Structure 1
Amino acid sequence: MRWFGIALAAAISIYPLAARAQATPAPQATIDQGLAQLKNNQPQQALSTFQQLLQANPKDVATNLYAADAALQLYKGDLAVQYAEKAHQLDPNNWKVHTTLVVAYSVADRPIQRNAERELLHKLHADPNAKDAMESNGFLVDMFPVKQYRIEAVEFFQPLGKFHIYYRFIIRNQQGRRVWTINAESNDFDEKSWEQAHPQKAADGERQFQVTGEGNDKHVDYRMFSGKPVYDGVKAQVLQILNAQTMPFPGETS
């Protein structure tokens, strides 16, 4: 039975070390840690960090929004909606909550709720009491993957700049770096001649639009179309352009 005594002695000698190891507390997650993970293009790690924080403090509005952001970068729309709606319950008048909700509903493919948030954001932009909204040019309305890229769609409250940009689609590579931009715009120069040629369409509120691309000091005119600036229609055209792209964008070579 000598072997039993040796084994028992070994177990006794090891046990205090194991007990001390188990007693060592796990590192506590922090907001700064999660934000750094988001910045470093580590959304899965960030989501885990924010979820750990929410277990301890589920009613923290900012952490719910950060968790929604991390979920969005993973294209987990339903999970993003869950966190964004929780933040809305806690702080229904928070402008940042609504800017997160609109993207969450887009990624979750819930266009009715998305459009309701878009309408609300436009109302807030016109509200003198909503300072943050009034000072903003637009908001992120959608996020979606195409091939190896992440596309971020921005909707402007008013057409932006001299070319009157209605929507801007930012194309990012797998490292999160912007490599190209696609704009849906309707400039006044082309619009005047179009209105003369199509008076009835102009009277019905339609315009002529140009879809253009730019990046790394390069410019591409993709196509033109007439109609109203309906987001889903513009997105469909941008998807056609992106899916037809076979060469790297000029911005990828810089």
Structure 2
Amino acid sequence: MSTASIRFHPEGPGGAGLEDWGALPAEALESGEGRQRGRYFFQDERLGLSAGVWDCTPFVGRMGPHGNNELMLLLEGEVTIEPEAGEAVTVRAGEAFYLPKGLRVRWRQPGRVRKYFVIFDGPADAPAPATVPPLRIDPAAALAPSTPPAADTLFGPVPSQQGKAAFIDATGQFTIGVWETTPYHRRPVPFPRYELMHVLDGGVTVRGADGTAESYGPGDTFFVARGMVGDFEVRQGLRKIYAIFIEKPAA
């Protein structure tokens, strides 16, 4: 196991299995029982930031308003999200979507659903979105050039990188999007942010300062916490969906 990254597994950390998280509150349900199971891969209550795996039996329920900002990667099943104002969106296994804090929706899942998630609670007074965003992440979204890492942080040449943010929360701390890079090899440094990464194409090897390493390819999901020390090596390019949290100092 790498000390510089946290690999996600559908059965929780190390594949050890999921815990019983109980049923959804009866007042939130229109039909079904909504029996939940899950495990956390990362949780920081001070930041209001968590990442994990969740599954649940069929149910129809209302989220009004949704209590946090959340990126979800659907592993099994399908979900239809029906905003109070806006078109319904159906998401199936293999797709990614998000819900902003404050959005009022009906959630319909006809069968069992399993997902990876990363959640940022956000402040209690965060405003609801003025309009309904697209919700589903487009993995083939057109990207724009982004700033590459500085040459002195790399082994070898500076890569070409580009990305596109699909969502930024009201505080500007939590961002979801798609990003890609040409090959590069970054020197071991403390990671400057919290980030979930889901590999779409290509791959990356993350090595810890103690020599442990994890290699991630298409379909793999992992998390890197701020301060983890490791080097990133992308040999044949990388395209990913990401969720980034960068804490802003209190005013």
With the shorter chain as reference, the TM-score category is: under 0.3
Which structure shows the bigger proportion of residues in helix conformation? Answer: 1
How does the TM-score come out when normalised to structure 1? 0.26
Which structure shows the bigger proportion of residues in strand conformation? Answer: 2
RCO (CA 8 Å, sep 6+): is it higher in 1 or 2? Answer: 2
